[in-house]
Amino acid sequence: MQKSELAQQIKRKKSYLCVGLDTDSSKIPSHLRGEKYPLFEFNRQIIDAVADSCVAFKPNTAFYESLGSKGWENLEKTMEYIPKDFFTIADAKRGDIGNTSTLYAQAFFEQMNFDAITVAPYMGADSVQPFLAYKDKWVILLALTSNAGSADFQQLTDQNNQKLYETVLQKSQQWGNAENMMYVVGATQASHFQQIRQLVPEHFLLVPGYGTQGGDLQAVSKYGLNSAGGLLVNSSRAIIFADQTKDFAKTAGKLAASVAAEMAEYLK
């Protein structure tokens, strides 16, 4: 999907919500566990319920990989079901030497047909370039994540008082551009958004940490939105696991609609 298409979807739906399909097999409602493809059946109902309120879906691959081949089948069926006008993100956090990254890119862009994949930048340019070789596909590079451990490395400063995540943002712009590269910036890091937007004014930011982790949507939107929308704010557990009854999808739909309504106000 091209940047202009994603921007149009945000404008049309008045939403920049991404729903994370972190489908934990131990947390799905009990009445689905006897299904042949329980994760897919859960995802199918969630997708239908939130489709009017979001522009993207982000399966975290760990929840599928952990179940072996059956998990991959559930993920494949989910990807086949998601309508083509939604932006799809493989939250796989890959990153390895070039020939391995080439195969990861084939797996997620060719076999699974995701629009984007999250990538760790620690091994440098040659670990990222194979993903950028695909037309109309995206790398979402980890920059400043929402977890407490982000302080261990990402916020370390060098002799010029520049933080490591700022170096990542600057250096990586030599590898890709605003048409094929996004950055992960956690919603719990709202105080950094103004500075980040100065470094990457045109790039999209994928923003996890909203919802269960307590990220501030108002602050993120104030400093993160740009002329194309520029944000994909992700909510996973707070939406998909809000209800354990047979009405789980209806509840998820209402919550997604509420988030989208708030986003519409920030887009005005």
Total count of domains within the chain: 1
Helices (H), the chain: 3-13, 38-50, 62-65, 69-81, 98-105, 125-132, 150-153, 164-172, 193-199, 217-224, 237-240, 248-267
CATH number where 55 lies: 3.20.20.70
Tens-place pLDDT, residues 107-139: 999 999 999 999 999 999 999 999 999 999 999
**pLDDT > 70 in the chain, percent:** 98
8-state DSSP, 188: G
Q: For residue 121, what are its two tokens?
A: 């930048």
Confidence class for position 191, pLDDT limits 50, 70, 90:
confident
pLDDT confidence of 189, banded at 50, 70, 90? Answer: confident
DSSP three-state, residue 260: helix
Residue 211 has pLDDT above 70, yes or no: no
Residue from 70, 93, 163, 254 carrying the catalytic annotation: 93
Q: What is the mean pLDDT of the chain?
A: 95
pLDDT of residue 210: 78
pLDDT over threshold 70, residue 213: no
Query: Active site includes 84?
Result: no
- pLDDT tens-digit profile of 11-70? 999 999 999 999 999 999 999 999 999 999 999 999 999 999 999 999 999 999 999 999
Q: What integer is the mean pLDDT of 192-215?
A: 87
Write out the residue range of the structural domain in which residue 159 sits: 3-267
Which residue is associated with the tokens 């699974």? 112
Is the pTM value of this prediction over 0.75? yes
